[in-house]
Chain A
Amino acid sequence: MNEGNALKRYVGVKETILYGVANGGQVIGYNMIRAQLTFFLVTVFGVPARAVTAMITVMGFWDAFNDPLMGGIVDKTRSRYGKLRPYLLIVPIPLGITTVLFFGGAEFLKGVESTTLKIVYMCITYFIWEFIYTIGDIPFWGLSAAISPNPVDRSRVIKSARFISGIIGGLPGIIITVCIDLSRNNIIPFTLSQVFLFLAVIGGTFGMFLFSLSGLCTKERIVQVNNDPKLLDCFKLLFKNKYLLLIVLSNILGTVGGIGGTFSTYFYTLSLGIASLSLVAGIPGTISGWVSYGLLSNLEQRFTSKQLIFGCSLSNALIGIITFLAGMNSYTNPKIIVPIIAVQGVFTSFIGSINAVVPTKMIADTVDYMEWKTGERSEGMSFSLLTFVGKLTGSLSTAIATAIIPLIGLQEVGQDMVLSSAGGINTKFWMWALITVIPPVASLISLIPYAFYDLTGDKLKNIQLELMQRREKSINANTLEKAEEV
């Protein structure tokens, strides 16, 4: 195969955009659950915070089993639609229904006083939602590695997915925050439980319609060599992939980086007084995040993935320290704090967009590495680890944050979170530290595994070029076979 063929683009503009739109639809429900899980369950549904923490922790452990199992099943799947697309064609419908069931709980069980019943409902609906989400999520990201033999195509579809899902998936967060304020101040005649149900219906219908496009409008373009892989062999492949394991380890070490989100809602409500201020502070960051996607191709040409990861983490920590110091004497004054957070958001969103694309692209690289090393592709197992670690770290960070809540002087009173009357702890100061400096500095530890990661630069290029030559030979062999048949 000459270099011209190696650089051929197979995924057109339409398919690239539709893959991104599908991800946007997929994450509407996911973002609602990730961003509002604790708030919805504790404040709206009336489930005790301890029960929520316990459920999240147990689900995290369940994912450790569920995700790789699902990844193995995906890798074992062979169908006329490919190995990933069948799931993307089926999953949107049940996922939409379970999203409505989960967020509709507070409305469906209105008037029910039994806390036990609420906990049971919460656990069942969350478990089913999580299970079905996994069945859709692993094939979706696996498809980014199988959509084209050209790494540039893959990078482009990942960027499209992250960019478009950032826009579409960000909408529920904005709408919910506004609706919370409007509902609490009786400006709209709906209770919080009705607001959540309404948004779940939108996410479960419109969102899932968009998600179904990933199965309907895409193609798998890489031939899966083994026609009958064993489930156990799929698992074994995982442990042969040292680069994938390094990425996973890094993600786990970076768990604390995600705790800021939980405290953000409480900081705006309790320290600054208005939850919607987070929207104002977030506007410049949103724009810089979009700009970042546009500049990422240039950055990818100048730097390796590893260099980008190091640069992003170090910059993020530095920005966190500067922000914390800039606001440490005025963290209750919205006029000073909102602009400071907005400036921080410009940098962190820029970095966040890079972090959203590069590690995913690196996982696709590790799938190529496994094909080069063993002849087998493991999109399912590899991306199941990505989704598992994403959920595990998300769950762990939520659990850590929920455990920190009483330690910094926050107290649950009825269905509201309030500042504890017990003295000695400067709760507002701790909340400021927890949304600015502690997460990015603590997550610097996640860089250690990357020090051992060398699947970059010429080594990676040579592997991918060799794979393309192998695939072309395989296709030529098939063509000859076909000609002989004729």
Chain B
Amino acid sequence: MKSECPKCGKKLSIFYFKPKCPQCGCELAYYDMDKMLEEDAKKAEAEFAKLDAFIDKMTPKFIKKKMKKDMSDSK
């Protein structure tokens, strides 16, 4: 939770709930939404990559072999 306006940098109290910045009037929840979504997508991909690597590490070899075989059969 950011405590300042993302556009003009005005400091906002955590109890300030109004949707627009009192100084510049920008939409606080949706300002730079595209940038935020891009950042979130990158972060999510990184987290899932870590998770996939962990699951891969924990999966026994015989299961991996079977999964590979199933995948090649389905191709």
Contacts and interface: CB of A to CB of B under 8 A. Distances in A.
Interface of A: 8-15, 78-82, 86, 216, 219-221, 223, 227, 475-476, 478-479
A79 B1 contact: no
A475 B47 contact: no
B37 A81 contact: no
Given A78-B19, A80-B17, A13 B40 contact: no
Contact of A80 (B18, B34, B37): B18
B56 interface: no
B32 to A, nearest CB: 8
Interface of B: 1, 12, 16-20, 28-30, 33-34, 36-37, 40-41, 43-48, 50-51
B63 to A, nearest CB: 14
Nearest to B17: A79
A13 B33 contact: no
Contacts of B46: 12
Contact of B29 (A10, A14, A82, A479): A82
Nearest to A14: B47
A115 to B, nearest CB: 44
Contacts of A475: 33-34, 37
A81 B18 contact: no
B29 A220 contact: yes
A221 B33 CA distance: 8
Nearest to B50: A13
Counting from the closest, the 8 A-B pairs by CB-CB distance are: A80-B28, A12-B47, A12-B44, A13-B47, A78-B19, A79-B17, A9-B44, A10-B40
A129 B63 CA distance: 49
Contacts of A80: 12, 16-20, 28-29
Given A80-B29, A221-B36, 9 more contacts: A9-B41, A10-B37, A13-B44, A15-B44, A79-B19, A82-B29, A221-B33, A223-B30, A227-B19
B43 A12 contact: yes
A9 B33 contact: no
Given A13-B51, A14-B47, A216-B1, A221 B37 contact: yes
Nearest to B20: A80
Contacts of A13: 44, 47-48, 50-51
Contact of B33 (A12, A15, A216, A478): A478
B1 A86 contact: no
Contacts of B41: 8-10
A79 B50 CA distance: 34
B33 A79 contact: no
A153 B43 CA distance: 14
A9 B50 CA distance: 14
Greatest chain B CB density within 10 A among A13, A15, A476 is at A13
A376 to B, nearest CB: 16
B34 A479 contact: yes
A478 B17 CA distance: 22
A80 to B, nearest CB: 4
A227 B20 CA distance: 11
26 contacts: A9-B41, A10-B37, A10-B41, A10-B44, A11-B40, A11-B44, A13-B47, A13-B48, A15-B44, A78-B19, A79-B18, A79-B29, A80-B28, A80-B29, A86-B17, A216-B1, A219-B36, A219-B40, A220-B29, A221-B37, A221-B40, A223-B33, A227-B19, A476-B34, A478-B33, A479-B34
Contacts of B18: 79-80
Nearest to A220: B29
A479 to B, nearest CB: 6
A219 B37 CA distance: 10
B74 to A, nearest CB: 13
Nearest to A221: B37
B45 A9 contact: yes
Nearest to A15: B44
